[in-house]
Amino acid sequence: DIQMTQSPSSLSASVGDRVTITCRASQSISRFLNWYQHKPGKPPKLLIYAASTLQSGVPSRFSGRGSGTDFTLTISSLQPEDFATYSCQQSHSTPSTFGPGTKVEIK
């Protein structure tokens, strides 16, 4: 299985901050990398697919970059509704695997 790691595991930030989360795959996954936002009691919400394509309806302050094994999710200006857990997912190989998540908390 392809292992996905994320860093940091959690971070504290203020409204308006620029936040970057890193996701790394244990082997090359080309650009088969998706990002989700997850809030308690709700299903994951797709933010970015194919490493950098913004899902319809997702604010443009979210962006994704990377290919191969190293990827980033950036929130350009953190908003109150962005405090959540963010998980990456590789869809290159079966089984698809998720990163452990990065919890973004209010400073």
Q: Can you give the binding site for another protein, defined by CB under 8 A?
A: 1, 32, 34, 36, 38, 42-46, 49-50, 55, 87, 89, 91-92, 94-101
Measured from the CB atom, the residue of 17 and 96 that comes closer to another protein is 96
Helix ranges (H only) for 12-105 are: none
Measured from the CB atom, the residue of 17 and 101 that comes closer to another protein is 101
Q: How far is the CB of 87 from another protein (least distance, A)?
A: 6
DSSP character at residue 96: P
For residue 43, which phi and psi values (nearest 5 degrees)? -75, 160
Q: How far is the CB of 89 from another protein (least distance, A)?
A: 7
- Provide the β-strand partners of residue 71: 23, 66
Q: How many CB atoms lie under 10 A from the CB of residue 28?
A: 12
